[in-house]
Amino acid sequence: MNTVATESEAPRPVILVVEDEAGIAETIHYALASDGFAPEVCATARQAIERFTAEPPALAILDVGLPDMNGFELFRRLQDLPGGKQVPMLFLTARSSEIDRVVGLELGADDYVAKPFSPRELVARVRVILRRSQRLATPPVEPMGSEANEPLALEKK
Ligand code: CA
């Protein structure tokens, strides 16, 4: 078993999962949770908007076929919420048709996964997207300890 102490100490990134099919939602929840994420499942677009409004997640996975709203429409609504444009989003497309994928990517989604999908592949995609977005968002890190060393050099009068 691989245990990485530093990973368990870091806050788990919240992944909003919007999926109305309970079986699929459970599979995704399990795969994400066992990989160090904090998944939160919503079965409807309305719930997802409420959840997102309360606090934007680290990433959102949107099913295209939702009972109360098309996933593409939900994507647009989430993007318009405060902080919405900073949250990477990935579509789950039910059909193998190219149309869903193309529309999703044209809207500006970060990725899509076609059902049926491998939970491992989905989690891997989530990791890649998060790494990419963190690299863009995080400013260069200054070397640690430089502050502690500096006063010695500055004390020369
Ligand atoms: Ca669905």
Q: What is the mean pLDDT of residues 20-37?
A: 97
pTM listed for this prediction: 0.79
Q: How far is the CA of 107 from the centre of ligand 1 (A)?
A: 19
pLDDT digits (tens, 9 = 90+) for 69-102: 999 999 999 999 999 999 999 999 876 666 677 7
Q: Verify cis geometry, omega within 30 degrees of 0, for the bond prior to 13.
A: no
Round to whole Å and give the CA distance between 117 and 108.
21
Q: What pLDDT is stored for residue 105 in this prediction?
A: 79
Q: What pLDDT is stored for residue 115 in this prediction?
A: 86
Q: How far is the CA of 149 from the centre of ligand 1 (A)?
A: 57
Q: How far is the CA of 85 from the centre of ligand 1 (A)?
A: 24
Reading the block at residue 60, the tokens are 């959102």
Round to whole Å and give the CA distance between 109 and 75.
8
Q: How far is the CA of 34 from the centre of ligand 1 (A)?
A: 23
All residues at 6 or more sequence positions from 59 whose CB lies less than 8 Å from its CB, including other chains: 13, 15, 16, 87, 88, 89, 90, 126, 129, 130, 133
Reading the block at residue 86, the tokens are 């900073």
Q: Is 125 helix (H, G, I), strand (E, B) or coil?
A: helix
Mean pLDDT of the chain: 85
Q: How far is the CA of 43 from the centre of ligand 1 (A)?
A: 9
Q: Which residues of 69-97 are buried (b: 16+ CB within 10 A; e: fewer)?
A: bebbebbebbbeeeebeebbbbbbbeeee
Q: How far is the CA of 4 from the centre of ligand 1 (A)?
A: 35
Round to whole Å and give the CA distance between 62 and 52.
12
Q: Within 10 A of 51 (CB to CB), how many other CB atoms are there?
A: 18
Q: How far is the CA of 115 from the centre of ligand 1 (A)?
A: 10
Q: How far is the CA of 152 from the centre of ligand 1 (A)?
A: 63
pLDDT bin (cut points 50, 70, 90) of residue 1 is: low
pLDDT bin (cut points 50, 70, 90) of residue 118 is: very high
Round to whole Å and give the CA distance between 128 and 148.
35
pLDDT bin (cut points 50, 70, 90) of residue 103 is: confident
